[in-house]
Structures are given as C-alpha cells and as structure tokens.
C-alpha cells in the first residue's frame, strides 16, 4: 500500500477507517472517503497533475473547488471517459481511474514543452496572423495540425451508457449554497413554514465552514453545520439537494441546476440516472454562493506548489493533508494569515510571510514574532524556481531588495471575489466595491437577494446574520412568518487588504488565465493592438474563455487592463456573465430525450395489425406509417408496391390513412369561418356532401388541402394532410380567436378518435357491401362521389365517405379507434374473394401521381393555386385568407412554373424528384433552369416511369421535349411533357 506521506495524523472530515485504492496515470494510490481526487493526490505527494494548454508547462493543484484551472484530468475510461474534469471536485471512490491530459509521452516528460521555446511566436492572437500562406497548406497541413494540437482532453467515441433525467421543482424560497449564509437562510425560511429548496454544490453542507478551523456557537464549524442540517432534514416542507450546482438564472425566477446523482460512484445504481437536471420555479431566491479566492499575478506563478491560501486551509482542515512542508505565504491582507496559523498547526515550516501591506496589524506581527517567522512587510513575490515542482520563491521587500528562499509551497491570498454570477445572468452588471477591492452585485433581478460572501460580506458572523435576515424576508414575501433565528456566535474579524492584483516585471511568465495560458504580456499586447475594452481583450487573448470561465483570472485581467489604460477598474467594466456557472454535461440537458426517445412516436390504431402483416414503416413526422406490406417471396419493395398499385387499379385495396388531420368545426359561425380560411366556398355545401378544400396562406401561397364534409347545418368535418394537421388546427383557432372573435365556433381535433381506411378499386363497392351491416344503399345514385353516410360495421357506428385520391372508385371508412383492428380483420376476411390487398404509403403515392393530385412535393409552400392548376377554385366572390396577395403580378405571371406531367422519352429511364428542367441543348446553369421535378415514381399501370413537375410556361409546352438534369445523382435524360393526369383523364372511374 502506498504511504500517504502527506496525510496528517489526525483531524479532517475524512473516514480513516476505510482506505480507497485508486489510480492516477496507472499508479496505484490510496485515499479515504471524504477526499477529493485532488486531496488524495496531495496526500500521496503527487504535485504534478497536468500540462498547460498552449505551452505545456507543468501544472499542479491551485485550488480546492470549482474554480480549479490546472488540475484537469481524464476521469474513468471507455464509454464513460470524461475529459477536463476538475480533480478538486471529484469525490474519491474505490477503483477510481484518472489520467493527466495534454502530455506526450508522459506527464513527467512531455515533448509538448517545446512550445515553451516557441512562446514568443505563439502569444495571444497569433493565429490571426499566421497559417495563411501558402493557401494550399491550410487543408493538408495547418488544419490537421491545429486539430491535433488543440483541446485539452479526449472525448470518448462510444455512446454514453448512462441514463440522465430532467425534473421540475417548485418552491417558495430557493436557497443557493449551504454555507453559513445559506444554512441560516434555509433555517429562517423553513421555520417560518415556507416551502424551501436548499441547493448545495458540494456533497456535504457547510460551505467554507468545512475548510476553516473556526468555531460557530462554541463548537467546530462543521459540527454546527451538521446540527443545522439535522433540523432542516426534519422539516417536511424543506428539501435539500446536495451535489447539485445551480448553473443558470433564467427569466421568470427559474433556476436551472444539475444534480450529480451518481458521479461519486463507480457506476450509477440500477434505475438511477448518472445526473439529473432541474428546472426550479421559485417565488424568492437567496443567492448564498460564497466567494472565490483570487491569486496574484507574478512571474512564475503557475508552478506546481503555488496554491491559493484558502485552498491550503481546505486541504489542511477538511482533508488532513499537508500541501507542503516548507511554505512561503504571500498575502495582500489579513486573510493569508489564517493559512499561516493553520500551516503552523499542521507542522509545516514557514520560511517567510510576504505581506503586501506596508503596515502589518500588530496581532499578526506578533504571531510572526512568536513563531520566529520572517515577515516581509510591504513585500512582493517576484518569481519562483523549480522544474516540475516549486523549489524556491523570490521576493522583494518594501525597498525593492530581492532575495530568494527555499520552499515547496507558496500560499497566495490576493483577495476574494463574490460568486455573483447567477445574479448577473439576466444582464445586470456588477459594480466595483473599492472598500473590499471586488465586484459585488449591482442591480438585482426581481425576487433575488444575495447574502454573505456572495454579497461581499466576508466574515462568518456577517454571513450568518445576512442569511437569517434574507431567508426570513424571503419567507415573509411569500406570506409566511416566524421569529428570526438567533445568530450563533462566530468570528467577525476584519478583512483588511490592499488592492494588489499584479506584480509586474518579475522573472518568468506571469500568468493571468492559467487554463488558457494567457500572460500579462498577452494583455499588454491586446491593449497595444487596440483591443482595450474588456469584451475585446477577452476575445483577443481568450482570457476567461476556458472551462473555468476565468474564475481566478477575470478580475486580475481587468486590473491589468485598467492600469494600462490609466483607468479605475470600475471604469473598465466587466465581460458579460452567461450560464452555465460550471460545465454541464450535454446528457444532463438532454435528459431522457435522446436516441429513440428524442421525440415521441405516434402510432395509428392499426399499427400492430400492420406490423403483424408484413408492413415496413416510414417516419412521417412523429407518425409511423406503413409504406408497403411485403409478402413472402417478394424480392424487394418495388415488387410489393407494384403489386399493391395494380391491386387497387384492378380489384380493391385498403390503406390506413388515419394520420391525416381531422377537425370538427361546430357552431353557428362555422360556415363563415370556413369560408374565410378556404379559397373556395364552403358555406354552400349541403349536409351529407363533401368538398375538396384549398387553404392559402395570407401571402397567397398554398398552405394545405383536404376535404370538408358537412355533418349538420352547423357542424363540419375538415381533413388536412398529415404534415399540416397541427398547423391547420392552429390556423383555424387563430382565424377564429384573433380575426373573427365574434363568430360562435368551437374547434376540436378528432384525428385520434377515428381510424380512417381508404377502400379503393373497381370492387370497392362490392367489398363494402359485404363488410358493412346490411342497410345502406351504396349505389351511385344514393351515395355519389363526394358524399357521405352513416353506416354500421358489426354494430359499431362508422362513417362512409365517397372520395378518391387514387382516381379509382373509392371510399374512406371512418371507424372509431377502438374498433379499427376488428374492422380491418373483417375487411380482410370478407374481402378475400374480391382480392382485397392492404396497401401502404408508397402505393398511395404512385396512385396519386398517376392521377396528378398535388401532395407534399407540390404543396411546398412556394406554389400558388394557379401553379397547381387549381386557380379556378379561388372564389372571387368572397374574402378569404390569401386572396388579395395571390393576385399580385408575380404570382399571376403566366411564365410561372405550373404543374405538368413527364414521361421519359425512351419509355424506361427513371426520373428523380428534384431534377432540374432545361431546354434541350442549352447550358446546364441555374440561369437556364425552367423548373424542377416534384414527384416521381414507376407506374405499374402504364408500365413506365412517370413524374410530376413544375415547369415555366408548362401549358404552352405540352407535347414538347424537355431535358431532365440531376447532376447530384448523375441523371440526364429527355422527357416528354404531358398533362399531369396519366390514368383515366376524364375521371370516370371514380364517379362510377
């Protein structure tokens, strides 16, 4: 077992009774429950954890939280491999496997370090000035090189094996963060009886209290937090979500959060998701997200061993790990001294405390004196030394004299930045608070308040008091009340500091953004090149654009820009804060809606019957429709489709057309509404009759077509195409509620109430007579073309409509959905002697192309009624949607493409939909295009390929030849232009 040589003998919030083996870069190491991967690595003495993005510099662990820019590892393997994972946020589990990134062949010896030598040529924005010449090199050399060099980690190639969920939560008060401020806010609001949701990013509640050696109410902070947690857990209307990051504030008081349900386990347990994303609707929000410590920018500040002073305390106090044995502490104020005290208690030797203040408060000066520490008041760290690890620190005193001291740990405290991101997601800018040298929230979004360190009030006492006050106020705003909770005793020490962000002129590169390798020189370059505004400098240098979104870089970058411009930081402004707060897995956003579940599926009532009878299905929007019904022995789909078409033309076929939209329009105003939406007149339709209806858009183009049946004086049954069913219902509702609100009309979709079966062919009438309950007169006189009657089938009330899409004698039988399958069985049984054949959408398509009926290819939103030969349908005697704009000259130009038919000149070469039409012999360029093929198929009835097309001057060109050109798929043939009806042009068969 590897010794955890840097683990302290006692203390920490870890379970020493269990040892967790894990691997980093194949090396077997050990930790305890309660460790993060980062703390466990430090306990095992692993300091080098990665190589930087551009220069491949050795990097170590800077922080102990989500702000970590350096310790990005590849976690797990195989399909679960997760690149760019912050080791500081990974909960250690048994068998964890992690690898460092961006290095080859190894972390210790990385050839990429040669980039450091090239550094002068690859500063900020170098790619705007390079890779341009010679142009031919781009595709073959530059791009492949850049792709290989770019990025940090490797994404897995295999499909994600885990499940993800989405969930919704509603509450009165949402408290974001369970540190001292958040715990008190939840307590206050919970005791008042409000419905409270407390969300905490960490696995444990307590926030900063878990990392500090301080007491609350006379006991250790973590213990106090545990007691509050116990009281909160007992509240029935209070819910705690831990391991949950609130990552966005959305409009309307909605917070998006992601719960890492199983990230801390080797595999998600059965029936649990890996992660769950939450949409939280809150009446009031208390943002108690704490603050993030700032480093200082100085030469060599990226070496492994340079760590934020607050993180040093986290490792010492929470994880019982000594991050270094010989430390130097560099602080801009009071805060770094807390690390001095904790390091001494942990047994480290402190070789110097460099305090940027010229005057150090007596208490701290005495602490240094008591322990014999070298105190450099008014000092600055100017550089570091060491290869893969810190070995020495150089500093200058107030007079500028430089010296060096050996060290393996440099704890840096540059101040604290309130985590106000969520308060700014809706565009509110933060404001600079000169008293604490940090940005605090400015104008707040409605219903959101900020408490504790997130508001710039850093002491524990202030956080507790803030939390209690804001939590109670939030509950009161929601109508609940109680006495405010007593504020427990806690430290309220001053946090005096000087505003030091940058030590210029040091030795070695001084990094501002560690993850993107942006140095102070890069910012100066941006300023020189004119990119001086914060938003410009960010994009030019890429500062703040990495996965850590500049959490430890942003303010220092602004400070450097401000100094270069001779402005105050408050004048430079900030960049825009946008969600997400930390990276969110796409899986969590998608939830269950992926793969087969990306969209719901819609099935007709006959779906299972069709599947059992050889149907192959096609997706038509959300619907599954039977394309054809294969029979044993058929070699391919053409065999099935040709057979089905001939069966309809010669005997009788039955097709499931249930997917077409069906809408009931009822009321005294129904006829008037339909006259408005249809181009032709509907109000004159008699009860018991049907009429074809053409619907236009207001701009004059055809929107949809269908049929209208008059069920009663004030009730109509409207059908639509499958694709437009939803749009037509929405359009009808719009025309009623917005355009004609005075009409008394009700609209109802009945698409799912009826299965609709098309029964078509010369034997259709005979078949129906055999299938329907005896009674109705089906003769041509009693039930003519375009009429309907009520019938019964096995006692079930159905409707029989006589209309024809195929051009044959045809009907549509409307059967209540529950009885569709029983009806179909009866049709197949009793229709056997007539040769009844089920047919699918392919045969349906062939039949209608043979008859020239427009469908999807023709109703493409760019055609008018005139184009489709339906101009006479547009009534001139009434207003309707689209009538006026359809009269515009460009839409009535005779040269517009109109619907024609095409037959290949050689009688057998297939024509493809989408092909272009050209005069034979002219150049095949767009300027010579005369139209295109809209629908095409092989016609078994004619024994040859046919097509429908939109052709300029189509009517005048009937009988001529046209070139059909398909460069994409290699088609080029001559076709004869004919009228768009290939079978039974007089329409006698459907009227018999």
Partner 1 sequence: MRINCPFCGTRGNEEFTVLGAADPVRPDADAPVPDWVAYAHARENPRGPHRDLWQHQHGCRAWLVVERDTLTHAVIAVRPARDA
Partner 2 sequence: MTPRPALAGRLRLGRHGQMEGAAGVMLRERAGLAVAAIALRDGRKAALQEALRAGFGLAVPRSRACTAAGGIELVWTGPNQWLALDGGRAGHSAFGFAPDLAAALGEAAPVTDLTGARAILSLSGPRLRDALCKLLPVDLEECVFPPGAAAVTLAGHIGVTLWRAPDAGDAWCLACLRSYGASLVEAVLEAAAEFGCAVEG
Binding site for partner 1 (CB under 8 A): 250-254, 279, 281, 426-427, 698-699, 730, 733-734, 736-739, 741, 879, 883-885, 887-888
Q: Does 861 engage in binding with partner 2 (CB under 8 A)?
A: no
| DSSP letter for each residue of 913-968 | TT-EEE-TTS--SGGG--EEEEEEEEETTTTEEEEEEEEETTGGGTT-EEEEEETT
State the Cα–Cα distance between residues 51 and 734, nearest whole angstrom.
Answer: 60
Question: Of 602, 643, 802, 896, which lies in the binding site for partner 2, with binding defined by CB under 8 A?
Answer: 602
**In residues, how long is the chain?**
992
CB of 54 or CB of 602, closer to partner 2: 602
Residue 625 vs 963, nearer CB to partner 2:
625
Q: According to the binding rule CB under 8 A, does residue 668 interact with partner 2?
A: yes
Q: Does 715 bind partner 2 (CB under 8 A)?
A: yes
Only one of the segments 286-294, 325-333, 745-753, 841-849 lies at the binding site for partner 2 (rule: CB under 8 A); that segment is: 745-753
Residue 888, contacted partner among partner 1, partner 2, none, CB below 5-8 A by kind: partner 1
Radius of gyration, CA atoms only, the chain: 38
- Only one of the segments 101-109, 647-655, 662-670, 919-927 lies at the binding site for partner 2 (rule: CB under 8 A); that segment is 662-670
Query: Which of partner 2, partner 1, none does residue 427 bind to, with CB < 5 to 8 Å depending on kind?
Result: partner 1
Stretch 796-835 residues interacting with partner 2 (CB under 8 A): 796-797, 816-823, 826
In the bound state with partner 1, the residue whose beta carbon lies nearer, of 28 and 739, is 739
Indicate the residue among 77 and 252 with the shorter CB distance to partner 1. 252
664 sits near partner 2 (criterion: CB under 8 A):
yes
Nearer to partner 2, 568 or 601 (CB): 601
Name 968's Cβ contacts closer than 8 Å, sequence gap at least 6: 914
Alpha carbons 550 and 555: distance in angstroms, whole number: 8
Residue 160 sits at φ, ψ, to 5 deg, of -70, 120
Tell me if the bond preceding 197 is cis, omega within 30° of 0. Answer: no
Please enumerate in sequence order all residues whose Cβ is within 8 A of that of 874, keeping only pairs 6 or more positions apart, or say none: 679, 680, 694, 696, 865, 880, 883, 886
Among 521, 753, 787, 944, binds partner 2 (CB under 8 A): 753
Closest approach of partner 1 to the CB of residue 885, in Å: 5
Q: Which is nearer to partner 1, 250 or 618 (CB)?
A: 250
Pairing relationship of beta strands 615-620 and 623-629 according to DSSP bridges: antiparallel
Cβ proximity to partner 2: between 271 and 370 the closer is 271
Binder of residue 564, out of partner 2, partner 1, none (CB less than 5 to 8 A by kind): none
Q: Which is nearer to partner 2, 369 or 601 (CB)?
A: 601
CB 954 within 8 Å of CB 977 = yes
Beta carbon nearer to partner 1, 481 or 887:
887
In angstroms, give the least distance from the CB of 550 to partner 2. 33
Q: Counting beta carbons within 10 angstroms of the beta carbon of residue 893, is it exposed (0 to 12), middle (13 to 18) or buried (19 or more)?
A: exposed
- From the list partner 2, partner 1, none, pick the one residue 130 interacts with, judged by a Cβ distance below 5 to 8 Å according to partner type: none
Distance from C-alpha of 898 to C-alpha of 955, rounded to nearest angstrom: 7
Q: Shortest distance, CB of residue 127 to partner 2, whole angstroms?
A: 41
CA quadruple 973, 978, 981, 982: dihedral positive or negative?
negative
* Residues 819, 796 contacting (CB under 8 angstroms): yes
Partner interacting with residue 666 (select from partner 1, partner 2, none; CB below 5-8 Å by kind): partner 2
Please, what is the minimum distance in Å from the beta carbon of residue 882 to partner 1? 9
Q: Which is nearer to partner 1, 75 or 891 (CB)?
A: 891
Judged by CB under 8 A, which of 346, 414, 452, 605 binds partner 2?
605
Residue pair 212/313 in contact by the 8 Å Cβ criterion: yes
Residue 213: Cβ-neighbour burial (10 angstroms; 0-12, 13-18, 19+) = middle
Distance separating alpha carbons of residues 531 and 561, to the nearest angstrom: 10
Q: Which does 919 bind (CB under 5 to 8 A by kind): partner 2, partner 1, none?
A: none
Would you count residue 795 as binding partner 2 (CB under 8 A)? yes
In this complex, which beta carbon is closest to partner 2, that of residue 535 or of residue 818?
Answer: 818
Q: Which does 830 bind (CB under 5 to 8 A by kind): partner 1, partner 2, none?
A: none
Q: Is the dihedral of CA 672, 674, 677, 680 positive or negative?
A: negative
Please state the closest distance from residue 718 (CB atom) to partner 1, in A: 16
Nearer to partner 1, 455 or 732 (CB): 732
In the list partner 1, partner 2, none, the entry touching 887 (Cβ below 5 to 8 angstroms by class) is: partner 1
3-class SS string, 876-918? CCCCCCCHHHHCCHHHHCCCCEEEEEEEECCCCCCCCCCCEEE
Cα first-last separation, the chain: 92
Q: How far is the CB of 436 from partner 1 (least distance, A)?
A: 29
Query: Considering the complex, what minimum distance in angstroms separates the CB of residue 890 from partner 1?
Result: 11
Q: Which does 250 bind (CB under 5 to 8 A by kind): partner 2, partner 1, none?
A: partner 1
Q: At its nearest, how many Å lie between partner 1 and the CB of residue 154?
A: 35
Buried b (16+ CB within 10 A) or exposed e, 48-64: bbbbbbbbbbbbbbbbb
Residues 317-376 that bind partner 2 (CB under 8 A): none
Region 578-597 residues binding partner 2, contact defined as CB under 8 A: 592-593, 597
Residue 728 exposure: Cα atoms within 13 Å on the Cβ side: 32
Stretch that binds partner 2, among 142-150, 394-402, 540-548, 659-667 (CB under 8 A): 659-667
Instruction: Examine residue 618 and tell whether it contacts partner 2 (CB under 8 A).
Output: no
285 Cβ neighbours under 8 A, 6+ residues apart: 173, 174, 175, 176, 249, 253, 255, 447, 448, 449, 474
Among the listed ranges 38-46, 345-353, 663-671, 696-704, the one in contact with partner 2 (CB under 8 A) is 663-671
**How does DSSP assign 322-346, residue by residue?**
-S-SEEEEEESBTHHHHHHHHHHHT
User: Which helix (DSSP H) or strand (DSSP E) does residue 644 occupy?
Assistant: helix 637-650
Cα separation, 308 vs 745, in Å, equals 70
Residue 410 beta carbon to partner 2: minimum distance, rounded to whole angstroms: 47
Where would I find the H helices in 436-553? Answer: 460-477, 520-528, 534-541
Q: Which does 817 bind (CB under 5 to 8 A by kind): partner 1, partner 2, none?
A: partner 2
Among candidate residues 125, 390, 168, the one with its CA nearest the CA of residue 278: 168
Window 128 to 187, contacts with partner 2 (CB under 8 A): 163, 165-170
Question: What are the start-end ranges of the H helices in 113-220?
Answer: 114-117, 137, 143-149, 180-191
Question: 656 near 629, Cβ under 8 Å?
Answer: no
Q: Are 922 and 928 in contact (CB under 8 A)?
A: yes
Q: Write phi, then psi, for 890 (nearest 5 degrees).
A: -65, -25
Please give the size of the binding site for partner 2, defined by CB under 8 A: 52
Q: Which of residues 254-293 bind partner 2 (CB under 8 A)?
A: 270-272, 279, 281
Burial track 257-275 (b if 16+ CB lie within 10 A, e otherwise): bbbbbbbeeeebeeeebbb
Cβ at position 671, least distance to partner 1 in Å: 18
| Least distance CB 274 / partner 1 (angstroms) | 24
Q: Which does 426 bind (CB under 5 to 8 A by kind): partner 1, partner 2, none?
A: partner 1
Binder of residue 699, out of partner 2, partner 1, none (CB less than 5 to 8 A by kind): partner 1
Q: Which stretches of the chain bind partner 2, using CB under 8 A?
A: 163, 165-170, 195, 270-272, 279, 281, 592-593, 597, 599-605, 608, 623, 664, 666-668, 715, 744, 746, 748-753, 793-797, 816-823, 826
């Amino acid at each position: 077992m590897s010794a955890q040589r840097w683990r302290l003998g006692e203390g920490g919030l870890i379970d020493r009774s269990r040892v967790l083996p894990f691997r980093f870069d194949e090396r077997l190491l050990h930790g305890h429950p309660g460790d993060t991967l980062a703390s466990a690595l430090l306990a095992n003495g692993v300091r080098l954890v990665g190589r930087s993005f551009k220069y491949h510099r050795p990097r170590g662990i800077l922080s102990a939280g989500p702000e970590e820019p350096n310790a990005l590892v590849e976690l797990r393997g195989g399909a679960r491999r997760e690149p760019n994972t912050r080791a500081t946020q990974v909960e250690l589990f048994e068998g964890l496997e992690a690898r460092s990134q961006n290095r080859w062949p190894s972390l210790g010896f990385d050839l990429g370090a040669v980039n450091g030598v090239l550094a002068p040529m690859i500063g900020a924005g170098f790619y705007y000035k390079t890779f341009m010449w010679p142009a031919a090199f781009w595709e073959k050399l530059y791009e492949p090189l850049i792709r290989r060099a770019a990025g940090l980690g490797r994404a897995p190639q295999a499909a994600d094996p885990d499940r993800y969920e989405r969930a919704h939560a509603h509450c009165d008060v949402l408290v974001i963060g369970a540190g001292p401020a958040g715990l008190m806010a939840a307590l206050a609001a919970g005791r008042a009886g409000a419905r409270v949701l407390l969300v905490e990013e960490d696995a444990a509640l307590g926030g900063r209290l878990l990392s500090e050696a301080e007491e609350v109410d006379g006991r250790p902070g973590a213990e106090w937090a545990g007691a509050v947690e116990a009281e909160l857990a007992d509240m029935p209307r209070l819910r705690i979500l831990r391991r949950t990051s609130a990552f966005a504030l959305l409009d309307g008081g909605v917070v998006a959060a992601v719960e890492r349900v199983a990230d801390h386990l080797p595999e998600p347990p059965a029936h649990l998701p890996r992660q769950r994303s939450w949409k939280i609707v809150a009446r009031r929000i208390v943002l108690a997200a704490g603050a993030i410590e700032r480093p200082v920018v100085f030469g060599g500040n990226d070496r492994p061993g340079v760590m934020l002073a607050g993180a040093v305390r986290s490792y010492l106090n929470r994880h019982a790990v000594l991050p270094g044995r010989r430390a130097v502490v560099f602080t801009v104020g009071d805060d770094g001294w807390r690390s001095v005290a904790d390091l001494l208690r942990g047994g480290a030797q402190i070789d110097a405390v460099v305090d940027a203040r010229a005057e150090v408060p007596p208490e701290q000066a005495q602490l240094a004196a008591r322990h014999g520490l070298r105190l450099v008041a008014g000092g600055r760290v100017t550089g570091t030394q060491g290869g893969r690890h810190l070995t020495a620190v150089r500093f200058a005193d107030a007079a500028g004299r430089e010296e060096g001291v050996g060290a393996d740990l440099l704890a840096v405290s540059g101040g604290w930045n309130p985590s106000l991101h969520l308060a700014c997601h809706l565009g509110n800018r933060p404001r600079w608070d000169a008293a604490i040298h940090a940005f605090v929230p400015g104008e707040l979004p409605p219903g959101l308040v900020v408490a504790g360190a997130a508001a710039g009030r850093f002491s524990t006492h202030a956080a507790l008091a803030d939390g209690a006050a804001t939590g109670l106020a939030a509950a009161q705003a929601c109508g609940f009340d109680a006495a405010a909770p007593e504020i427990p005793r806690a430290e309220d020490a001053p946090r005096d500091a000087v505003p030091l962000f940058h030590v210029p002129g040091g030795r070695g590169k001084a990094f501002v953004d560690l993850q993107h390798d942006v140095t102070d020189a890069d910012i100066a370059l941006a300023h020189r090149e004119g990119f001086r505004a914060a938003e410009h400098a960010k994009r030019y240098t890429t500062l703040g654009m990495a996965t850590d979104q500049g959490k430890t870089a942003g303010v220092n970058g602004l400070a450097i820009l401000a100094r270069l411009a001779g402005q105050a930081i408050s004048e430079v402004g900030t960049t825009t804060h946008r969600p997400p707060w930390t990276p969110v897995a796409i899986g969590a956003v998608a939830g269950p809606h992926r793969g087969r579940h990306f969209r719901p599926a819609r099935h007709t009532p006959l779906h299972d019957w069709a599947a059992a009878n050889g149907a192959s299905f096609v997706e038509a929007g959300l619907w599954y429709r039977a394309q054809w019904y294969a029979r044993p022995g058929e070699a391919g789909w053409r065999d099935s489709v040709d057979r089905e078409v001939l069966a309809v033309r010669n005997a009788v076929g039955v097709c499931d057309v249930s997917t077409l939209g069906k809408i009931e329009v009822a009321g005294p105003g129904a006829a008037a509404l339909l006259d408005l939406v249809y181009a032709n007149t509907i109000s004159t339709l008699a009860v018991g009759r049907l009429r074809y209806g053409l619907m236009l858009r207001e701009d004059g183009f055809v929107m949809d077509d269908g049929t209208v049946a008059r069920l009663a004086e004030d009730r109509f049954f409207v059908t639509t195409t499958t694709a437009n069913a939803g749009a037509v219902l929405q359009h009808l509702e719009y025309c009623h509620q917005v355009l004609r609100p005075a009409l008394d009309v009700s609209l109802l979709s009945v698409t799912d109430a009826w299965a609709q079966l098309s029964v078509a062919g010369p034997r259709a009438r005979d078949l129906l007579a055999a299938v329907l309950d005896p009674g109705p007169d089906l003769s041509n006189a009693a039930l003519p073309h375009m009429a309907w009657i009520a019938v019964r089938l096995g006692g079930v009330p159905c409707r029989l409509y006589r209309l024809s899409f195929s051009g044959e004698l045809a009907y549509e039988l409307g059967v209540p959905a529950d009885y569709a399958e029983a009806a179909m069985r009866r049709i197949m049984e009793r229709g056997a002697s007539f040769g009844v054949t089920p047919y699918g959408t392919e045969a349906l398509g062939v039949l209608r192309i043979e008859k020239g009926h427009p469908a999807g290819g023709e109703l493409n939103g760019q055609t008018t009624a005139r184009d489709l030969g339906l101009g006479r349908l547009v009534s001139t005697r009434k207003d309707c949607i689209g009538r006026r704009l359809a009269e515009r000259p460009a839409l009535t130009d005779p040269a517009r493409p109109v619907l024609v038919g095409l037959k290949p000149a050689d009688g057998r070469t297939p024509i493809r939909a989408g092909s272009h039409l050209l005069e034979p012999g002219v150049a095949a360029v767009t300027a010579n295009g005369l139209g295109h093929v809209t629908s095409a198929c092989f016609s078994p009835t004619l024994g040859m390929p046919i097509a429908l097309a939109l052709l300029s001057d189509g009517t005048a060109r009937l009988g001529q030849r046209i070139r059909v050109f398909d460069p994409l798929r290699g088609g080029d043939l001559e076709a004869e232009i004919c009228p768009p009806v290939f079978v039974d042009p007089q329409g006698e068969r459907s009227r018999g």
